[in-house]
Copies of this chain bind each other. A is one copy, B any other.
Amino acid sequence: MRRCKICQKEAVVFFKSHRISLCEEHLKSFVEKRVKEAIKSHKMINRGEKILIAVSGGKDSLSLWQILTNLGYEADGMFIDLGIPGFSQESWEKCEKLSRRLSRKLFKTSLEEIFGMNLLDIAKLERRVPCASCGMIKRYIMNNFALKNGYKVIATGHHLDDECSILLGNVLNWQVEYLRRQDPSLKEENGFVRKIKPLVLCSEEEIENYARVMNIDHVGKGCPLSKGATSHFYKSIMNQIEEKMPGTKLRFYKGFLKIKKDTFGDEKPAELKPCIRCGYPTTAEICSFCRLHERIKTKISQQNPEKMEEPLS
C-alpha cells in the first residue's frame, strides 16, 4: 500500500512527475496550492475582483470553479450552449449541478439564440472545422458578457497539458508572435478584460484526480467535434515524453515562461480599433464575430426570404 507523503495515510494517487503519493485530503491541498501559486506569481487576480469562469461541463473548468471557490474567490460561471446534439445538454446540466453546490451564479447563452443556428451548422456554412470558429465565438461572447456585467477577469480551465500542447505546436512552427502572446495571464487592455488560466501549473492527470476526489460530476468525454484535432496529437506526444522523462512538461512550460520575455521580446501590441458594428476590439473595420454574423444572416435570408428584414443583432 502506498502512503501519503505528507500524513502517511493511505494514498489514493501517485504522481510520477512529482514522485509523490497523496491521500485524498493532501491531493486536494496539493492541487489548490499549485493554483494559488499560479495566481500569485502571474498576478492573475486583484483583491475583491469578481471572476467569470468559462464553464463547459468538463472536468477542467468545473474543477477550476471548485478550486477558486475553495480559495475564497467570488467566481461565477458562464456556459455557452453550442447546440451539439448528445453533448451540450448534458454539459449544461453538469454546470448547473456544480453551480447549485457552490451557490454561485451560472449564466447561459446559446449559439441558437445569437445566430439562429448551432456550431455544426456554422461549421458547415463556413466550410471549416468547428474548432476554427468555436474559439473566436466563445472569446467574443465571454468578453462581451464580462464587460457588460462588471467582471474584471475571465478564467478558463486550460491546464499544463493544454499549454504544453500549444507551446509544442508554436515551437515546431516557430510562431514567434504566438510565442510572445502565450501567457497564463493576458492583461486587460483595449476593450478586452483580463484573461487568466489558473490551472497552468496542474497537469490534466492532477485535475482529473482532483475532480474525482471532490466528486465533481462532469461530462466524461471531450467535445465530439474536436476529434482528430492537432492539439490532441500534440498532447499524446507530450505524454510520451513525460512518461519517459517525468517532469518534462512542467520544465518545458515553466522554462518557457522564464526565458520568454528576454528571448521572444515584448508582445507587440496589435493596432486595435473598435469594430464599427459592435465596438469589439479588432484589427479590421468589422470584427470577425460581426463578419460571421453577417455571413450567417445572408445565408438564412437566402433560405427564408421572409426573414430578411430582421435586424442584425
Contacts and interface: CB of A to CB of B under 8 A. Distances in A.
A contact face: mostly helix, strand, loop, or mixed: helix
A174 interface: yes
A252 interface: yes
A178 interface: no
Interface in A198-242: 230, 233, 237, 240-241
A263 B263 CA distance: 6
Interface of A: 171-174, 176, 230, 233, 237, 240-241, 244-245, 248, 251-252, 255-256, 258-259, 263-264
16 contacts: A172-B241, A172-B248, A172-B251, A173-B251, A173-B252, A173-B255, A174-B255, A174-B256, A174-B259, A176-B259, A176-B263, A233-B244, A237-B237, A237-B240, A237-B241, A263-B264
Contacts of A255: 173-174
A39 B252 CA distance: 33
Given A173-B255, A174-B259, A237-B240, 6 more contacts: A171-B252, A172-B252, A174-B252, A174-B255, A233-B244, A263-B264
Contacts of A263: 176, 263-264
A98 to B, nearest CB: 36
A209 to B, nearest CB: 25
Nearest to A257: B174
A297 B230 CA distance: 55
B258 A174 contact: yes
Nearest to A176: B259
Contacts of A237: 237, 240-241
Contacts of A173: 251-252, 255
Nearest to A255: B174
A264 B233 CA distance: 28
Contacts of A248: 172
A242 to B, nearest CB: 10
A240 B244 CA distance: 15
A245 B237 CA distance: 13
A248 B168 CA distance: 12
A130 B24 CA distance: 44
A300 to B, nearest CB: 37
Contacts of A259: 174, 176
Contact of A171 (B171, B230, B245): B171
A244 to B, nearest CB: 6
